[in-house]
Amino acid sequence: MSGSQDFASTDPHKKLYEYAQKYGDIMCFWLGNIPNILINEPKLIEQVLVTDIDNFYKNSPRKAAKPVMNGSLFLSNGKDWEFKRRNHPFSANEISTYFDDVLPLIQTCTREHLEKLQPSSSPKNVEMFDELTHLSFRIFGLTILGAEMGEDFFSYFMTLMNEMNSRGTQVFPVSLSFKFWSERNKWFKFIENQINAQQKDRNGVDLIAFLTGTNTELSLEQLRDELSTIFTAGTRNVVIAVAAVLYLCSRHPEAKQKLQLEIEEFESQKNDFHVSDINQLTYLNKVVKEALRLYPAVPLFIREVLPGKSVVLGGHSLPEKTQIFISSWAFHRSPNHWENPDTFAPERFDTEPRLFHYFPFGAGPRACVGMYFTLVCTKMILLTMLSEYSINVAPSCTFDTRYFAGTIMPRDGLLSQIQKKVAV
Ligand code: HEM
C-alpha cells in the first residue's frame, strides 16, 4: 500500500500504530518508489536486532542527522561502529562511579531551577515542557562538559535540533544555511575547548574529567562528536521521560500518592545517597518504566538490508536496501502483546516483560548507550521535584504527541501548576 500520503498527514509513530493495528505482525508500505516493511512481532524484531544483525545496517536517520551528528556512534556501522561503541564514554569501565558523582549536581540544578521558577509557596502556572528543556540542557552542560552553558549555546543547540527535524521531513534536503554552519562551528569549537580545559583540570565530576582517568582511544574530534551527540540524542529524551511521568501521575491520583509516599519515606531516611539507593525506589522504577512504555521518547527506528544481501523475514524474501521499521510506540500499545495496553498500570512491571516485548531504548548490541544515564537523570529530577513541590498538569493538557527530530514531544506543551511544599 502507498504510505507517502499517509505520512504527510499523520505523525509517523501514529501512522505506524494504525498500520500495526490493522495489518498485524508484518506489512509492507511504499514511500515513493521505495518499499518499507513494518514488523510487530517479537521473533522478527529479535531477528533484525540480534540474531541476523550482520545482514542489516543503520542508514536512517543519516539524511536528517549527518550534518549534526557528524561521525558519531549513532550513525556508524561495521568496524567503525564497534570501535566507537567500545570507546564510547558511557561504555567506560567504572562508569558507575561517574553516575554516583553527578547525582548531587543533578539534584542541585533541579532545586535551583524550581526555586527560580517559584520561590514562594503560592501556586503558579508554568509551561513545564519548556522549563524541563532548559533544566535538562543545564544538567547536561554541567555533568557532561563541566560547563555552565548560557542562552547562546542553548540557541545553537536548538538550531541543530531544528535542522535535524526539518531535514527529516524533506524529500530532497535543502542546502544548509550559513547560520547553521556558523552555529555548528561555535558549538563544536566550544566542546573541543572544554575537552582541552577539563582534561587539564581533573577535579571536576563531569564526564570529560572522568574520562581523563580512562584510556579512551578516541581522537579529539571523535570525542567531540560523541559528547555533542549525547546532547542531540539525549537531552530532550530525558525531558520526555520526566514530562510523561508528571502527566500520567496528574491523571492517576492514586499512583501519584503512592509515589509521593515512597519518595517522602526515602527522603526522611537518606541525606547522602547513591544510584543504588535510588534504584531501591521500586514504585518510582515501575512508574518510569510504564511512562516509557506508553511514551517511548524514540518511538520508531529503522534498519536496512545490507547492500549485496537479501534476507528472509517472516517468510518474505527482502532485497538489498529494504527499510525495516520497528516502532516501540506501536508495539507497546498492541493488544496482541500487552494486556489493556492503553491503561496506565505501573504494577504490570511487578514481573519482567517478556523478551522483545518492551524496548523503549531499542534492543540488542545497538540498544541505547545512554540508557543508564537517562534513568539516573530522570529519577533524580523527579525525586527532587516531587519531594519539594506539588506539581499538577493542567486538566486541559492531553499530552497529544507530535514527532520532532526522531523523538516525540507534547504538541501543546505541558502547562502545569507548581506549588512549593511548606516545610513542617
Ligand atoms: C528516554 C530516553 C532515551 C530513549 C527512549 C532512547 C532511545 C534510543 C533508542 C530506541 C535507540 C536505538 C536506535 C536504533 O536501534 O536505531 C537509541 C540509541 C542511542 N541512544 Fe538513546 N535514548 C534515550 C536517551 C539517550 C541519551 C540520554 C543518550 C546520550 C547520553 C542517548 C544516546 C544514544 C546513542 C549514542 C545511541 C546509538 C547507539 C548505537 O547505535 O550503538 N540516548 N536510543
- Indicate if ligand 1 lies below 6 Å from the C-beta of 241: yes
pTM: 0.97
Range of the domain at 415: 4-420
The burial class, CB within 10 Å (0-12 / 13-18 / 19+), for 271 is: exposed
Average pLDDT over residues 340-349: 98
Q: Dig out the grid coordinates for 120 from the structure.
A: 514562594
Pocket test residue of 69, 207, 226, 298 for ligand 1, highest count of atoms within 8 A of CB: 298
Cell of 394: 493542567
Do the beta carbons of residue 313 and residue 39 sit within 8 Å? yes
Closest ligand 1 atom number to CA of residue 365: 41
Q: Is the CB of 141 under 6 A from ligand 1?
A: no
89 pocket-lining for ligand 1 (C-beta < 6 Å): no
Torsion angle of the four alpha carbons 93, 96, 98, 104, in this order, in degrees rounded to the nearest 10? 180
Q: 301 CB under 6 A from ligand 1?
A: yes
**How many other CB atoms are found less than 10 A from the CB of residue 55?**
18
117: cell is 521558577
Q: How far is the CA of 142 from the centre of ligand 1 (A)?
A: 20
CATH code, domain with 348: 1.10.630.10
Q: Is 362 in the pocket of ligand 1 (CB under 6 A)?
A: yes
User: In angstroms, how far is the first alpha carbon of the chain from the final one?
Assistant: 63
Q: What is the pLDDT of residue 257?
A: 97
Phi first, then psi: what are they for 53, rounded to 5°? Answer: -55, -30
Strands 311-313 and 316-318, by their bridges, are antiparallel
The stretch 370-389 carries a mean pLDDT of 97
Residue 381 near residue 271, CB atoms below 8 Å? no
The protein residue whose alpha carbon is closest to atom 21 in ligand 1 is 368
DSSP for 360-394 reads TT--GGGS-TTHHHHHHHHHHHHHHHHHHEEEEE-
Instruction: Report residue 424's pLDDT band, with 50, 70 and 90 as the boundaries.
Output: low
Residue 235 Cβ < 6 Å to ligand 1? no
298 CB within 6 A, ligand 1? yes
**Confidence band for 9, pLDDT divided at 50, 70 and 90:** confident
| Model confidence at 217: pLDDT above 90 | yes
Q: Considering only CA atoms, which residue is closest to atom 1 of ligand 1?
A: 237
CB of 373 closer than 6 angstroms to any ligand 1 atom: yes
Return the DSSP state at 250.
H
At which residue does the C-alpha cell 505506524 appear? 16
Query: pLDDT tens digits, residue range 181-190?
Result: 999 999 999 9
Determine if ligand 1 sits within 6 Å of the CB of residue 331: no
Phi, psi of 318 (to 5 degrees): -110, 130
Instruction: State the distance from the centre of ligand 1 to the C-alpha of 22, rounded, in angstroms.
Output: 28
Taking only Cα atoms into account, the Rg of the chain, rounded to an integer number of angstroms, comes to: 21
Assess contact for 324 and 303: CB atoms under 8 A. yes
Written as one letter, the residue type at 37 is I
- How confident is the model over 267-277, as pLDDT tens digits? 888 778 899 99
Lowest mean pLDDT among 6-15, 190-199, 254-263, 312-321: 6-15
Question: How many separate domains does the chain show?
Answer: 1
